[in-house]
Amino acid sequence: MNSADLGRRVGVPSTALFTDQYELTMVQAALKAGTAGRRSVFEAFTRRLPEGRRYGVVAGTGRVLDAVENFHFDDEMLGFLRDQAIVDGPTLDYLADYRFGGDIWGYPEGEVYFPGSPILRVEGSFAECVLLETVILSILNHDSAIAAAASRMSAAAGGRGLIEMGARRTHELSAVASARAAYIGGFDTTSDLAAGFRYNIPTVGTSAHAFTLLHDTERDAFRAQVDSLGRGTTLLVDTYDVTEAVRMAVEIAGPELGAVRIDSGDLLLVAHRVRQQLDELGATETKIVVTSDLDEYAIASLAAAPVDAYGVGTQLVTGSGHPTCSMVYKLVARAGSGDPADELRPVAKKSMGAKSSKGGRKWAARRLDEEGVAEAEVIGTGPVPEELAGRQLLVELVRGGEVVAREPLDAARARHVAARAGLPLSAMQLSRGEAVIPTEYV
């Protein structure tokens, strides 16, 4: 595999302080109690899907692997912890030498998941595993939410192009992560150059209304853009009068004009009128791109319109109403002592409400019906039934602290296409509903 396939390994600062203070104070207390070294198993999962969603999408796994590798405390960080009296001397000594040395298994990126799915399983000593809780959840909750929204939009688009263009609607670093997650979920390109640089996602972009307004006339703006970017460029035609702009665009660029973009108005009506006009002017191959606060419902409503691509911003990078997946990271098994050979014991929180969890180190498999369509997510803690042995979902990601499962982003993108295709057709419905397949515990 060419290293370029994995994107650029951009240098990032340590992720060790991307955490909550109580992770460190728990380590301090466990060190003092002599329990910090107990072999432990933590699992990341969600108790329920966001309201109305029928499946979830795993995204962010590759970023989690980077975060685990970069989780270490430098002298300046240790000085901060010391000066603020956040932890004591013995804990500072432990943190100074910290490197995760355990194992991580999880659903591969791009796979779908359901309530209770053990999306990530982290094994090692209590201290080394508990420190990773916050950074793992912050990545998985964000990226999986964006990927799920992207997947729904991709299904609604029905094979038409999708452009991620939400960088100006979120935090600058979240924008890069959002573009990555959207690409996994089915988007084709991004406007964000940092995402293109870091993850090799194809980038696109031509001009905004400001470019047209800069010039004395719309004709001058179109001429300048075509002279610079060529006849295959995309011209924005709704700054003034759409009909006149389309006529002028074809006059200047000729029938080789790549595309026109519509960013306002009744998109369904305008798209039909623009397509008819383009065809009458001989620009039968010129494509139509629409933008303007789109979400999966708006995309679906344009299914009958002659639209070739959709550009989506705000609704995508905010998860289309669900900016988090409510994933949690829970201790599910631990040894009774610091002896590495000590047997793991299932543990679980008891709750009167909806926050209960199931103890034990889990496996997961997806059972298929006679037609090869998923019919249940099966989760267990004992032996894997023979009929499910070849359908297990967790893969090894980290072994003894070393990452063993990096892959190109296109592999996760292709995996999602296959995983979604293996679900019942009702998974593609945009109407509110429950998880498309049940979760069964054995």
Quick: pLDDT tens for 146-168. Answer: 999 999 999 999 999 999 999 99
Evaluate whether 256 touches 273 at the Cβ level (below 8 Å): no
Mean local confidence (pLDDT), 418-430:
96
Evaluate whether 14 touches 307 at the Cβ level (below 8 Å): no
Q: What is the pLDDT of residue 357?
A: 80
**Alpha carbon distance 299, 293 (integer Å):** 10
Mean local confidence (pLDDT), 331-347:
94
Structure tokens at 17: 């302080």
Q: Within 186-295, where are the H helices?
A: 193-199, 209-214, 218-229, 242-253, 267-280
Residues 276-327: tens digit of each pLDDT: 999 999 999 999 999 999 999 999 999 999 999 999 999 999 999 999 999 9
Q: How confident is the model at residue 4 (pLDDT cuts 50, 70, 90)?
A: very low
H or E, element range at 415: helix 409-421
**Alpha carbon distance 306, 275 (integer Å):** 7
Residues of the chain with pLDDT > 90: what percent? 93
Residues 6-65: tens digit of each pLDDT: 666 555 579 999 999 999 999 999 999 999 999 999 999 999 999 989 999 999 999 999
Mean residue pLDDT across the chain? 95
Mean local confidence (pLDDT), 420-429:
96
Q: Which domains does the chain carry? A: 3-131+326-441 (3.20.140.10), 146-321 (3.20.20.70)
Residues 273-282: tens digit of each pLDDT: 999 999 999 9
Q: How far is CA 217 from the centre of its chain?
A: 42
Residues 6+ apart with CB under 8 A from 206: 225, 229, 233, 234, 235, 236, 261
Whether the predicted pLDDT of 253 surpasses 90: yes
Q: What is the pLDDT of residue 432?
A: 85
Mean local confidence (pLDDT), 359-374:
97
For the entire predicted model, the pTM comes to: 0.94
Q: What is the pLDDT of residue 2?
A: 42
**Alpha carbon distance 264, 161 (integer Å):** 19
Evaluate whether 317 touches 169 at the Cβ level (below 8 Å): yes
Residues 6+ apart with CB under 8 A from 156: 296, 297, 299, 300, 303, 430
Residues 177-223: tens digit of each pLDDT: 999 999 999 999 999 999 999 999 999 999 999 999 999 999 999 99
Cα dihedral 104, 110, 112, 114 sign: positive
**Alpha carbon distance 111, 439 (integer Å):** 16
Structure tokens at 76: 């300046």
Residues 225-248: tens digit of each pLDDT: 999 999 999 999 999 999 999 999
**Alpha carbon distance 140, 181 (integer Å):** 10
Work out the burial of residue 288: count CB atoms within 10 Å of its CB; fewer than 13 is exposed, 13-18 middle, 19 or more buried. buried
Cα angle value 32/103/41 (rounded, 5°): 55
